[in-house]
Every structure is written in C-alpha cells, then in structure tokens.
Structure 1
C-alpha cells in the first residue's frame, strides 16, 4: 500500500522531493500499480517525454526506493526489452551507469524502473554556462561511462549519445538510455544495421538512410567529441547550432570550435570528431590526453618554481622537474600524454641546425 511505501521511503532526490511527497498523498484510486512499482498517470508527475511515445514518470518501488518509471507502448516493446537486457548485465552495475531497479508489463505498456536522476546534462549546462574545473571532471566521468561499455568483451556500442541521455546524480555523471545499444558480434569490430540515433548526434558514417550501416566503437567516439564541445562551450554544437544545417556539416566535415578557448581541449575534440573513423582515438586514449593533466600536480610544481616560460623549453623544464622531485610522477605516463613532443623537439632542433 501507499502508506507502507511512505513509511519505508528514504528521501534521496532534492529536486523531486516535493512532487514525490505529493504523489504519496494522492487519492488511492489514482495510484497505478505495475508489478512492485506505483505511479500516478498525471502530467505533473511526468518528468520526460520521448519522440517515440515514451514517457517517464516519478514513482516508487514497494521497498520505498524512488524510481523513474519509463513507460513505452507495446509496439515499441523491443527497444525497452533491449534496454532491460543490457542494464541487467552485472558488468553494467557501475557508478557511471544509471542503475536498473525493476521491470513490469501490463496489457498496453512495458515499464522500466530506473534510478531517479536529478538533471540531464542538457538541463545542467543550461543552468551552468560558466563551466570551470567542474566541467573537466564531468567530461572525464562521461568518458569513463563510455569506457564501461567499450571495454566489455565483446564491446557494447551505445549509438545514442546526446545531452538528454547523460544524467547527473549527486554531482556524478551517469550514462543512460540503452534502448538502441548493440553488442559487437564476437571477434568482430563492426555491427551492421539500419540507421539509429538522434538528429545532429550521429557520426558521419551513419548518416546514410541505408540498411547496412557500419557501427564501430569509433562511431560513439565522434559523437562523444561533439558532446564534450557542447559541455565546454555552454551548449553549442561543433557542427552548428541549426539542426537543418548541422547534419550536412557533419557529412562535409565542416566544424567550428570558436566557443572554446582552451587549445588543448580543442586538440582533444578535433581528434575525436575526425571525419575519418580510423583516425579517431579509443576512449582510453581520450582519457590519457593532456587535457586531463592533473591540475593540482601542475600547481604543486609551479609553486616551487614559479618561473616556467610558456613555450617548449618551459614544458621540458617542467617535465624534468617532475621527474626529479615528484613521487606522484610515477602515476603519469608523460610519453603517452605528449606522444609527439620529443620527436617534434628533435626535428625542430635539427631544422635549426642546433647541436
């Protein structure tokens, strides 16, 4: 009963607390039970709506757990079953993935009970245009969530990365919506299928209206690069903010990174959104990019020295001092962070005729 759920409820969500209280005091005749979950089919308790008729409602499980109940009609039932299948995998029970809680079905709908999240990335970015260090943390958490999928054996492809499918729970980023996920066939690097994904959030090679589109891990990576730009720019798209032109620009490889000033961040984004799939990095290579160079380590070494010049020589002295004085340097593989640096310095010195 609603009363027993009320007794067991341990409030977690700040954002939805008032509405959840209201739901628990609703007229009993309006409360709908499906399996071991309850919800009220009223607009004030609906927290999201998808283009395919999917609706997400606030709800509770019998044990008092707050849930987001994703309701989808039976005609799209396969998508929901697919999502449930992935979320129930033990390897996806992870802090970077929105948690599976329950599943139920009735005459007309399938229902997926998920961890209740506070904000989508889209909502969060709209409220926090300034960014800062917090954004760098969110980007690395987002990439870690994608790595959870890509490092499985065989890998799982998400195929629907976009700001509405990345959520924040207690300040931590979690990836959601696995309805069109696919696992690569064993021993294969490509999954061939019809077009999937959301307009403007698709990789170049998947824009064809074909039934035989090659999806690979690097397909997710190009869209992840678009999302990183979206985070750092406060909501802009590298291929243009007008939907009517955006897909055409993706197809032609026309992008602009003018809304981001950080040259190292731009380097990471350009690497990820490369129109040639083979040239894009793996997720683990993204995470070892200099963009994620630990800020506190830089500050510690600068605190002792305070005189590094903003050029190659300054960087070399910085790296030398790290190796000389810092125990933490053992954790950093600087050669993998700056793969071309030493060769570049050598060629530059040679071209100048230096000894």
Structure 2
C-alpha cells in the first residue's frame, strides 16, 4: 500500500505578504511614537520615584518605628498599631468625622459644578457668561490660607463683618465658627465657593460635544427647557459625571488638610478633627510615626474599596472606568 507523504504547512504568499505588511506598519508606528515615549519617560519616573517607591515606607505601620533603627531595623509589632487606632476614642472619632464630612462633601459639593455648567450652557449673553465664569473660576487659584482668612474675617464672633451687622440689627452676635452645625455649613460652603467654578470647566467641555440636532428634535416634539435638560443634556454628560464621581470617591477620605486646618479651632474639634489633621498631629507633632502611618494606610485602603465599589456599580450601567 502506497503511503502519501505528509503535507507541509506552508504559508501562502498572500498571507505572508499581509503579515510582513503588518509588521512594517507596526515598526513605522513604533518609530513615529519614539519621541512621545521619550516625553513620557519623566512622567513615569516621577510616579515611580515619588509615588510607588515611597509606598514601601508603609511597612512602619506594622513596626514600632524609631530613628535609631530605621525603617527596616525597627521592631516588628504586627497589627498592634491598628488595634490602638480602633480602641482609641480620639482615633475612632476622627474616622467618624472623616466619613461624615466626606459624605456631606459628596452630597453637597459634587452637584454644584454640574448645576453651574448647566446654567452657563443656557446663558446666551456672551459678555455676561464670560464675566460670570471668570468670577467663579478665580477662587480656585486662591490659597486656603487666604480663603480661611476671608472666612474668619466674615464670621468671627467679635470682629467679623456679619456679626458686626447682626449686633447693629439685633444687639447680639452669633458664634458661627464655634457651633458644630454652623461650622460644618461654613466648611462646605467655602469648599463650594472655591472649587465649584473651576470644576464646571470639565462639564462645559462635555456639553459642547452634545449633538445640537437632539435639541432641535426635542423642540419639534414640544419639549420645554427643563425636559431638554433632563432628556438630552444630562444623558449627554452622564459618562463624564460618572467618571468624575469615581475619581471623586478616590479622594473622599482625603477631606483636605489645608481647608480643615485653616478653619478649625479647639472648640469644634469634636467635628473638625479628620484623618489628615490626625496624621499631622500624631506623626509630625507627636512623633508617633507608626500610628500615623497605620492611619494613613487605613485611609488608602478605604479609598481603594470605595473606588472599586463605585466603578462596579457604574459598570452595571455600562459606564465603568475599567
């Protein structure tokens, strides 16, 4: 019986030419992108040197750190620092305050840039629109030291402008900065005043990409201004809103040292002491570096969990970041 020789798997000339053309295109694309890769090198180096390498210092959260032995030579104590955190009433109150202020900041501060962008988008007088935008953008460039000074100048009980007017009208003053509720209100309002205008830029850019024919179609259907905003404008920027929410959840635990430190006082410390100020007082002022590192690591883990949870919810609606 005659045996047939095995057929060798040979690539057709057409297929081999297609493969070679793809390889040539990849090489050309790579050569074109070489300058951009070199420009990206400093960015990668910055994050490696100043972001990723310092993460190794988090090991002191599991040690009893001292300057003599250094980071790696200090004695290992395991989870003892975390046990101290969750049994210390001050640390527990600090974590509670951080969650409360972070939640209020998301509820109050997050919608304002969206509302500002919607209002700017409806303004037809260009001179008024540009003037209002400039006035609302400017506070972003002010330091919290300046903003804190303005707030104290306005709301101080003895020399504040508002209390000066209240004393003339009613004969009494009100301790705005020394009552927990009024302090939280001023804290949130100052954050909105400083950052909402600048944050609205992103939403204004997203609004500019909405197809104008959708508004024309809505007008033909008899939709008014509110219905156009609800059915055309908001769906058009929904992906950007969700993206900003996910990114905002990553900073939710980072309430902001500058703002809190410049506005707080000992009388309202029961509501104003947050993780960032706790780390400053315990670490830099108190020298308890391991305890401060444990609090910082706890903050980072909670922020990571919040980002992952928010993205998981957004992904269910087809708007996940990854």
Instruction: Place the TM-score, normalised by the shorter chain, in its bin.
Output: under 0.3
State the structure with more CA Rg: 2
TM-score when normalising by structure 2: 0.22
TM-score when normalising by structure 1: 0.21
Bigger fraction of residues in strand: 1
